[in-house]
Amino acid sequence: MVAERDAVAWSEQEIAGLVEKIGALKSSMARVIIGQEEVVDLLVTCLLAGGHALVEGVPGLGKTLLVKSLAQATDMEFRRVQFTPDLMPSDIVGTEILEEDAATRQRVFRFQQGPVFTQVLLADEINRAPPKTQSALLEAMQERAVTFAGTTHKLPRPFFVLATQNPIEQAGTYPLPEAQLDRFLLRIDVVYPTEDEEVLMVSRTTHAGLDDAEPAMTVETLLRLQQLVRDIEIGEHLLRYATRLVRATRPDLTTVAAVKQHIGWGAGPRAGQALVLASKARALMQGRLAVTRDDIQAMLLPVLAHRVLRNFEAEADGIAIADILQSLRNEIRVD
């Protein structure tokens, strides 16, 4: 149940209608995206939670199509920026240009908005841009605004950034610092499709091609859903459970042997906020108005995978973050 203070704001009819829109959104994307159900679920979860996503996968897996279809299904403006080593901060946030009035001959500076002024932004291969350019985007993600020449310009609402990274090719890249990785709510891994999915994909794209996703909800509906996510109930015991999971990633505090042995640096308090928000969004996607333990456990890997750093020993031995977090999940209990 939603909290008593929200009883007037949320009628059962409105909540049912909003949950139905989530199903329509996923169905619209399924017309374009073949397979990748888990990836789509995580993208929608991140969108409903009001966060940003870091998407990793080798080229050719349809990451751009995923983001574009999400924008089409939610009827939001979409822009794509290819990050390169020569990309400057002004290429992202915008710059001032000098204009002359034809009648008065008076010259004034006008702010020319960059591609960040959109609702869905695909930052393709974000680790190829220099740190200064990365920071300009990440500041906009955090503040939801751009400050230029002492003037603050608000970004549109909603504002959703999906940044991609190629996990294979690292030559000539600028890895994101841990403090900047922390600004992404989820890390989503896009994996190879199954054989049947790949056959269907090749068949569709070599004949008539794929259709565009049809709008399944308005921007106003999406904003209402994001508000509803914040009001999803989570019990005190589950709130403490989520906090314990995050704290247990810190080697100096944990009792989990795998963490002590393989983790060099654990997650900060922002990870706890992300875990709870993502769990609330997952609960709503499944038509529930309260978070369960399963929601928290399901969101543990995408929330913490980019926030927890393995030590040298773990990297040398090929110990995966997923295996360490599985040990964490097995040992930390709910009261």
Enter the tokens of residue 15.
């909540």
Enter the tokens of residue 116.
């960040």
pLDDT in the model for residue 209: 60
* Residue 14 confidence class, pLDDT cut points 50, 70, 90: confident
Angle (CA) 285-287-293 rounded to 5° is 75
Angle (CA) 237-243-248 rounded to 5° is 120
Report DSSP state, residue 127.
G
* Higher-confidence position of 84 and 46: 46
Read off φ and ψ for residue 109, nearest 5 degrees: -90, 135
Q: Are residues 186 and 223 in the same domain?
A: yes
pLDDT in the model for residue 101: 74
Single residue among 206, 231, 256 that ends a domain in this structure: 231
Q: Are residues 56 and 202 in the same domain?
A: yes
Q: Are residues 167 and 68 in the same domain?
A: yes
* Residue 53 confidence class, pLDDT cut points 50, 70, 90: very high
Single residue among 190, 213, 231 that ends a domain in this structure: 231
pLDDT in the model for residue 7: 44
Please write the tens of the pLDDT for every residue from 264-323. Answer: 999 999 999 999 999 999 999 999 999 999 999 999 999 999 999 999 988 888 899 999
Range of the domain at 99: 1-231
Looking at the chain, the whole-number percentage of residues with pLDDT higher than 70 is 94
Q: Are residues 142 and 200 in the same domain?
A: yes
Query: What would the 3-class secondary structure string for 18-30 be?
Result: HHHHHHHHHHHHH
Q: Are residues 144 and 209 in the same domain?
A: yes
pLDDT in the model for residue 21: 93
Q: Are residues 155 and 222 in the same domain?
A: yes
**Model pTM score:** 0.88
Looking at the chain, the whole-number percentage of residues with pLDDT higher than 90 is 50
Q: Which residues of 290-301 are buried (b: 16+ CB within 10 A; e: fewer)?
A: ebbeebbbbbbb
Those residues whose C-beta lies under 8 Å from the C-beta of residue 196, and which sit 6 or more positions away, are: none
Q: Are residues 212 and 285 in the same domain?
A: no
Query: Is the pLDDT score of 6 beyond 60?
Result: no
* Mean pLDDT within 92-103: 82
The alpha carbon torsion through 227, 299, 160, 70 (nearest 10 deg) reads -100
Q: How far is Cα 123 from Cα 295, in angstroms, rounded to an integer?
A: 28
Please write the tens of the pLDDT for every residue from 234-281. Answer: 999 999 999 999 999 999 988 899 999 999 999 999 999 999 999 999
Q: Is 264 helix (H, G, I), strand (E, B) or coil?
A: strand
pLDDT in the model for residue 32: 84
Single residue among 231, 258, 278 that ends a domain in this structure: 231
Please write the tens of the pLDDT for every residue from 122-178. Answer: 999 888 888 888 888 888 888 898 888 778 889 999 999 999 887 766 666 778 888
* Higher-confidence position of 201 and 217: 217
* Mean pLDDT within 99-125: 85
Query: Is the pLDDT score of 3 beyond 60?
Result: no
**CATH code, 248:** 1.10.8.80
**CATH code, 2:** 3.40.50.300
Q: How far is Cα 177 from Cα 58, in angstroms, rounded to an integer?
A: 21
Q: How far is Cα 320 from Cα 208, in angstroms, rounded to an integer?
A: 41
pLDDT in the model for residue 33: 84
Q: How far is Cα 48 from Cα 282, in angstroms, rounded to an integer?
A: 9
* Residue 1 confidence class, pLDDT cut points 50, 70, 90: very low
Q: Are residues 132 and 63 in the same domain?
A: yes
* C-beta of residue 53 within 8 angstroms of C-beta of residue 120: no
Q: Are residues 164 and 18 in the same domain?
A: yes
Query: Is the pLDDT score of 62 beyond 90?
Result: no
What's the total number of domains in the chain? 2
Tell me which residue of 276, 307, 90, 94 sits closest to 180, measured CA to CA: 307
Q: Are residues 180 and 264 in the same domain?
A: no
Q: Are residues 210 and 71 in the same domain?
A: yes
Q: Are residues 203 and 253 in the same domain?
A: no
